[in-house]
Structure 1
Amino acid sequence: MNIAALLTSAGINIVVCVVLFSLYSVLRKQPSNVNVYFGRKLANRGLKNVDLSFERFVPSPTWVMRACDTTQEELLDIGGLDAVVFSRMLVFSIRVFSVAAIICTILVLPVNYYGHDRIRKDLPFESLEAFTIENVQEGSKWLWTHCLALYIISLTTCSLLYFEYKSITNLCLGHVTGLPPKPSQFTILVRGIPWSSEDSYCEAVKKFFTYYHPTTYLSHQIVYKCGAVEKIKDDAEYICKMLGDGVEHSCKPSIVQCYFCGGTNSFKIIANETDSIHSRTGLTDVHIVARKKECAAAFVFFKTRYAALMAARNLQASNPMLWVTDQAPEPRDIYWSNLCIPYKQLWIRKIFTWVASFTFVLLFLIPVTFAQGLTQLDKLEKMFPFLTDILKKKFTVQLVTGYLPSVILVLFLIGVGPVMMLLSAVEGPISRSCRKRSACYKVLYFTIWNVFFVNVFAGSVISQLSVFTSITELPAQLAKAVPTQATFFTTYVLSSGWASLAFEIIQPFPLFCNIFQRLVLCSGQDSYNGTLTFPYHTEVPRILLFGFLGFACSILAPLILPFLLFYFFLAYIVYRNQILNVYITKYDGGGQLWPIAFNTTIFSLLVAQVIALGVFGLKQSTIASGFTIPLLIGTVLFNQYCRQRFLPVFKNNAAQVFIDMDHRDANCRRMEEIYDQLHSAYSQFGTSSTQSGCFGYPGQREHAQSHPIPGHKEHVQSRPIPFDLERGKESIKPDISWAIHR
């Protein structure tokens, strides 16, 4: 690939970005699209048409300033700790690759270009390999510049990682101690409750914890089967019983129409499953039906945080498969359908998901190999002779080699996120944040393997061998392969990075749904009201993958760094805008994404250093190779120190912190208030998602306003807030001026 092909790819992506960003700036001002681009603020609110104005149809960059001016405290209140951690990942990447771009442009790039005596071409037709380390002669004395650049990048990365890890750790601790009490701090989840023919699960839990935790046990709440099929079956049995017994229906007002008496009344929808059991059965068979619906899992409440912490950490029985305890997730974070999965079945599910993931990786080799085939025109002409005439045209060559391979790979990668999320759900996590974090790991491993390693070995000379004779040859093989594929990674950053951000901000699928409902279905104000949560499981791996490519190619092919740096700047603006306006925070993972980012960054550094060691060996630079080995050892030691110093805070809560919080609440006499709200917070079929009182949730007030609970007063009497678009003008129309003028 030459410079012209790279510029062709860059030009296409720049045009796509400019068009889509300009279109977004106009579409976000249209009243009909407010539910698409401001879903976090205006979900479930009726909107009416507003007067036309010229400003609505002129692109404006004010939303960029709004995204940049938002403070970390505001972001924490709106998006929770996960949003802050994600934003810090982008800031960290900008800082690191700013240093890398400056150092590699000044030191490495000139050495690469002038490192070999050869006939030079005009710059647009110059091969990109002339700017890589491949162009440096063997035994060149200038290879010390690459080693120096590697040292500067590694030391800068480790220093910034340390301060970021320390800052985010303090932020997590402050997030625990500074907020109102959380119900999860007093609650544990018990699974693997042993079956007894004499006692129900509910009675077994009470007997066990009353006997073994007599002074700290408060109460418990059993988990019932709550699948959709189970609910339909219960309702059908209830109706059949009523019809069979000839019960005369005396309907009460409700939200479902009664089809038996032809009126506007209906059966009362029973929210609580326990109430449902008692209302549908007689007193004689309540116990039998309840036992059928019980799961071998329960939430157990304790009098203090410290007691719950110790119960969650310690082994409760001599058989580790029975009475298994974990710290309970937040009520809004619970994945209820997985709580009834037998604990002994989880290890089988994990094996199945990893086998399925591995199979999916193998199947994905087909599109990756096809995409790499487009970069090798000579092989493509042999396989498809009828394309010979077409591939002789200059623009066609630039388009096929510089744009199509990365676009094809990006299109196939779109389906990876949903597949991995499905596999993570089958794995059996007890919380939605754990499911998303597990999917994040899977997508990350998948993309790094397929985008980097498979492309490296499929598109290089090593594709002839495919197998290493020994592990010691890995650095040398990577050293041969990575520089030849660095140009592909540069175009991948353009197509998968820049273009993906443009499509992210335009929200094509919600926009299409909104237009379809308004124009085709003519639904008027019943337009698209979809609520989205931030897709951390796809966006975090994307950010970390680009960081991985940046570290691996920084000293080998420095031309990738300016494109990568611009991507991180653009991502910082786009994602902050989406968190502020589009995505709704339904639950918070507590900043657990940062250890993933830290581990991936360390792995990226080590891979970059191993590749550099292999390159220096191939270039016969003994001094550079010798200085790289201490850098590898230092990076490993730094990783081990951070894992010992900071990682335990993310895995476990500190007993010291919980004891201090218990003393504080006891002195303030708040314990009784907390005890009263524990059961309602973990009501399986109740309305605990917006519990107020003494329990606090990130973005709780805004979420409650945008998602009223059925039966709640705000839901029954919901009404649009009267604003106007033109200041100083009275109107009953909803105000979206903040959307238009920002």
Structure 2
Amino acid sequence: MDLAALGTAAGINIAVCVGLFSLYSILRKQPSQATVYFGRRLTTGARKINALSLDRFVPSASWLLKAWNTTDEEILATAGLDSVVFVRLIVFSLRIFSIASFTCLLMVLPVNYQGNLLGHKEIPYETLEVFTILNVREGSQWLWTHCLALYIITFSACVLLHIEYKSITKMRLAHISGSPLNPSHFTIVVRAIPWYQEESYSDSVKKFFTRNYESSYLSHQMVYRSGKVQKLMRNAGKMCKILKDVSIEQNHKPGLYHCGFCGVHSDSFQILSHESESSRGKTCLIDNGLVGKKRKVCAAAFVFFKTRYAALATSKVLHSINPMLWVTQLAPEPQDVYWSNLWIPYGQLWVRKIATLLASVAFMFVFLIPVTIVQGMTHADKLQKTLPFLRGPLKKKFISQVMTGYLPSVVLIVAFYTVPPIMMLISTVEGSISRSGRKKSACFKILYFTIWNVFVVNIFTGTFIDIVSMFTKFDHVEDLPAQIASSIPAQAKFFMTYVLTSGWASLACELMQLYPLLFNFIRRYIFRMKDWAISPMSFPYHTEIPRLLLFGFIGFTCSILVPLILPFLLVYFILAYFIYRNQIINVYIIKYHCGGHFWPLIHSTVIFSLVMMQIIALGVFGLRKSPVSSGFTIPLVIFTLLFNQYCRQRFHPVFQNHVAEILIDMDREDEKYGRTEEIHQQMHAAYCQSPSTPPDMSLAGSYHQPEEETIQDLENVTPEKEPSQVSLSWSVASTFGAPEPQ
């Protein structure tokens, strides 16, 4: 692949991005698309009517200025700590790759180009290999520039990582201390409750905790396995909520509403809404009444304690001589509970973990098929041998550039759309009892799946046929290590086009919200449905964090070998900074909080990327017969591992456990200001497993959008806070009639 082909791929992506950005700036101003592009703002009640104007159909960059002017403090207040952690990942990537771009383009790229090992052509027809380390002669004294760049990137990354880890740790501690009425601090989940013939599970829990924790035990709530009756009642609850929202919309607009099928007046909707409101406080009574008889009690329960410290201490203790009985852990937040997995017997979890691990590995190997096809498409000569009918079209320069430079990355991206739902399904089967835990597990699986298939497999698949031929001939086997070590810069063309297609284009698609846009079009103009109780989306951390970390991994490992890739990565992270901040501010809502738990995964992945960069550089220096550079690289690997160990000892424990000192201070404040009784009264309702209300319906929110509303007005509305940690934590309690804490 030459510079002209790279320019063709870049030109196509730039045109696609500019077109989508312009289209987005117009669509976001249309009132009919408010549910797509302003879901979070509409849930906070931001609404203002404005007349039709020409400005609605003219592209503008006002959203870029809004994203730029929004501070991290505003994001923390409106979207929570997890969104801030995501933004800090982008900021870290911007900083480190700005340093890497300046260093490598200034020192490494000229050395690579002046190596003269591969020869030179005219600039437009230069192959990308002449800009890589492959063009440097063996034993060249200029390889010290690569080693120096390696030191600069590593030390800069470690300093920036330490700053971010320290800052996010402080924010996590503030997040814990700033949510004094969070019921999860007082609650533990008990699983693997032993069965006794003479007493029920509930009696066993009460007897066990009364005997062992009499001074701190408050009460408990058993977990039930829902059946068909509960699913029907849950659907009925959703329908009642929709009917209630219809009646509210009727109050907002004058005039009568008619049924879409027969034209009958819909006054009865208002009566139904009052009935649903009057029955809201009776849900727990139904839960323990007739419906409760239809449900099966599971060997799991929520146990409530009088103080936070008692719950924390109890969750960390081994309660039986058999570690598989009376297993405890701190409970997730009420909105974070994944009720469907609570009934899973604790003894099955290790079997499920092994099965899901094997399933993930099997899926990784199955995915080798599209990756192999993609690598075959990057080589025009091999493509002509495999598909002879393409010899004619491939002789045309433009078609050849598109098929070998642009199309392979597009095919791989389309194949990767199947990965997140499959990994989320596997993580669900794994048995996590929290939605955040399930999403974190899926994030981990998707991350290493993409690193394996995009980076590792693409490196070795391209040379697989050549490697096999070497072994069959039994000659030139000594060249095998050199060929493997040089395969990374040889695949520079694929990585660059992948950054352009999967990076730039995916960000443009994220901004456009293609699937919600299509769904909104079908809903409004085909089915003629109104915006009744539409639930905005929560942020897809499990797909976006692995994508950012993958590009960071590619940037680190290719920085000194293929420095020409760094400007494309830098543009990607600049676009990501504006686009994701815009989406967090306007589109996505917060359904539950993870407390910044994604940052340790981010830190570990960056360390892994640094170590891989150093090991690859060590191998290349050895094959380039530069013992001095190899000798100076070994201490760098040791330093990086020691730095990681320091961070694990200094910061990581705060993300694994709550700090007892903070919880004790919060307990004393509650006792001092007389909040203890109030908290105890509302504890049971917070984790009430109602069959008629899904766990996240109270958080999803609903909004009612006037047809003449314009989106320019929503831009100018000051962002309101998302429901705070306190109100979110007790929203389920208020659903069942419990009073809101003061």
Give the TM-score category using the shorter length.
Answer: 0.7 to 0.9
**What residue number does 1:231 align with?**
230
**What residue number does 1:347 align with?**
350
1:666: how far off? 1.5
2:284–2:688 Cα contact (<8 Å) kept: no
- The 3-state SS of whatever aligns with 1:104 is helix
1:424–1:439 Cα contact (<8 Å) kept: yes
Residue 516 (str. 1) matches residue 510 (str. 2): no
RMSD between superposed Cα atoms in Å: 3.1
1:35–1:43 Cα contact (<8 Å) kept: no
2:537 to 524, 532, 535: 532
**What residue number does 1:483 align with?**
489
The percent identity for this pair of structures is 55
1:475–1:613 Cα contact (<8 Å) kept: no
| CA separation of 1:427 and 1:562: change in aligned 2, threshold 3 A | same
Residue 430 (str. 1) matches residue 433 (str. 2): yes
Residue 636 (str. 1) matches residue 641 (str. 2): yes
| CA separation of 1:366 and 1:82: change in aligned 2, threshold 3 A | same
1:270–1:276 Cα contact (<8 Å) kept: no
Could you give the per-residue CA deviations for residues 295-319 of structure 1, whole angstroms, max 9, x where no partner exists?
1111111111111001101111111
| CA separation of 1:527 and 1:54: change in aligned 2, threshold 3 A | farther
* Whole-Å separation in 2 of the counterparts to 1:254 and 1:733: 19
1:332–1:689 Cα contact (<8 Å) kept: no
Pairing 1:271-286 to 2, within 5 Å after superposition: 275-276=285-286, 279-280=289-290
- The 3-state SS of whatever aligns with 1:522 is coil
* Whole-Å separation in 1 of the counterparts to 2:676 and 2:345: 34
Which deviates the most, 527-536 or 298-307?
Answer: 527-536
Residue 571 (str. 1) matches residue 576 (str. 2): yes
**What residue number does 2:140 align with?**
140
- Taking structure 2 as the reference length, the TM-score comes to 0.86
**What residue number does 2:713 align with?**
738
Letter in 2 for 1:487: K
| CA separation of 1:179 and 1:463: change in aligned 2, threshold 3 A | farther
Residue 400 (str. 1) matches residue 403 (str. 2): yes
| CA separation of 1:467 and 1:74: change in aligned 2, threshold 3 A | farther
1:29–1:740 Cα contact (<8 Å) kept: no
**What residue number does 1:14 align with?**
14
- The 3-state SS of whatever aligns with 1:388 is helix
Which deviates the most, 113-122 or 555-564?
Answer: 113-122
1:588 to 593, 596, 599: 593
* Whole-Å separation in 2 of the counterparts to 1:20 and 1:427: 38
Could you give the per-residue CA deviations for residues 587-641 of structure 1, whole angstroms, max 9, x where no partner exists?
1111011011100000000010000000000100010000000001111111111
* Whole-Å separation in 2 of the counterparts to 1:60 and 1:167: 35
1:50: how far off? 6.2
Letter in 2 for 1:329: P
| CA separation of 1:663 and 1:231: change in aligned 2, threshold 3 A | same
1:529: how far off? 3.0
Letter in 2 for 1:552: T
**What residue number does 1:250 align with?**
none
2:591–2:700 Cα contact (<8 Å) kept: no
* Whole-Å separation in 1 of the counterparts to 2:281 and 2:406: 55
* Whole-Å separation in 1 of the counterparts to 2:671 and 2:619: 62
* Whole-Å separation in 1 of the counterparts to 2:549 and 2:480: 23
* Whole-Å separation in 2 of the counterparts to 1:359 and 1:446: 11
1:179: how far off? 2.8
2:508 to 502, 507, 519: 502
1:687: how far off? 9.4
2:382 to 379, 383, 391: 379
Pairing 1:300-449 to 2, within 5 Å after superposition: 300-449=303-452
**What residue number does 1:111 align with?**
111
* Whole-Å separation in 1 of the counterparts to 2:6 and 2:310: 61
Letter in 2 for 1:511: L
* Whole-Å separation in 2 of the counterparts to 1:467 and 1:84: 51
1:558 to 541, 563, 570: 563
1:254: how far off? 13
* Whole-Å separation in 2 of the counterparts to 1:64 and 1:235: 41
* Whole-Å separation in 1 of the counterparts to 2:316 and 2:479: 44
1:521: how far off? 2.2
- The 3-state SS of whatever aligns with 1:518 is helix
* Whole-Å separation in 1 of the counterparts to 2:234 and 2:21: 50
Could you give the per-residue CA deviations for residues 421-458 of structure 1, whole angstroms, max 9, x where no partner exists?
11111111111000000000000010000000000000
| CA separation of 1:577 and 1:59: change in aligned 2, threshold 3 A | same
* Whole-Å separation in 2 of the counterparts to 1:177 and 1:597: 24
1:117: how far off? 5.2
2:41–2:714 Cα contact (<8 Å) kept: no
* Whole-Å separation in 1 of the counterparts to 2:215 and 2:132: 69
1:120: how far off? 2.0
**What residue number does 1:699 align with?**
none
2:118–2:130 Cα contact (<8 Å) kept: no
2:375–2:458 Cα contact (<8 Å) kept: yes
2:220–2:301 Cα contact (<8 Å) kept: yes
Q: How many residues align?
A: 680
| CA separation of 1:254 and 1:621: change in aligned 2, threshold 3 A | closer
1:548: how far off? 0.2
- The 3-state SS of whatever aligns with 1:181 is coil
1:275: how far off? 2.7
1:679: how far off? 1.1
1:280: how far off? 3.0
* Whole-Å separation in 2 of the counterparts to 1:458 and 1:105: 29
Could you give the per-residue CA deviations for residues 27-58 of structure 1, whole angstroms, max 9, x where no partner exists?
00001101110011225989999643110001
2:13–2:500 Cα contact (<8 Å) kept: yes
**What residue number does 1:150 align with?**
150
1:659: how far off? 1.3
- The 3-state SS of whatever aligns with 1:403 is helix
Pairing 1:183-332 to 2, within 5 Å after superposition: 183-227=183-227, 229-232=228-231, 275-276=285-286, 279-280=289-290, 289=293, 293-332=296-335
**What residue number does 2:607 align with?**
602
1:335: how far off? 0.4
**What residue number does 2:728 align with?**
none
- The 3-state SS of whatever aligns with 1:559 is helix
* Whole-Å separation in 1 of the counterparts to 2:312 and 2:597: 18
Unaligned runs of 5+ in 1: 237-252, 258-262, 692-702, 709-717, 722-731
* Whole-Å separation in 2 of the counterparts to 1:115 and 1:495: 30
Letter in 1 for 2:642: L
**What residue number does 1:620 align with?**
625
Could you give the per-residue CA deviations for residues 124-182 of structure 1, whole angstroms, max 9, x where no partner exists?
11000000000000000000000000000000001111111111111101111123331
**What residue number does 1:99 align with?**
99
Residue 55 (str. 1) matches residue 61 (str. 2): no
Pairing 1:459-470 to 2, within 5 Å after superposition: 459-460=462-463, 464-465=467-468
| CA separation of 1:47 and 1:101: change in aligned 2, threshold 3 A | closer
Letter in 1 for 2:629: A
1:461–1:481 Cα contact (<8 Å) kept: no
* Whole-Å separation in 2 of the counterparts to 1:409 and 1:255: 44
| CA separation of 1:308 and 1:462: change in aligned 2, threshold 3 A | farther
**What residue number does 1:726 align with?**
none
* Whole-Å separation in 2 of the counterparts to 1:474 and 1:163: 42
* Whole-Å separation in 2 of the counterparts to 1:372 and 1:49: 54
2:467–2:480 Cα contact (<8 Å) kept: no
- The 3-state SS of whatever aligns with 2:196 is coil
1:56–1:740 Cα contact (<8 Å) kept: no
1:462–1:481 Cα contact (<8 Å) kept: no
1:353: how far off? 1.0
| CA separation of 1:463 and 1:677: change in aligned 2, threshold 3 A | farther
**What residue number does 1:698 align with?**
none
* Whole-Å separation in 1 of the counterparts to 2:681 and 2:366: 53
Letter in 2 for 1:502: A
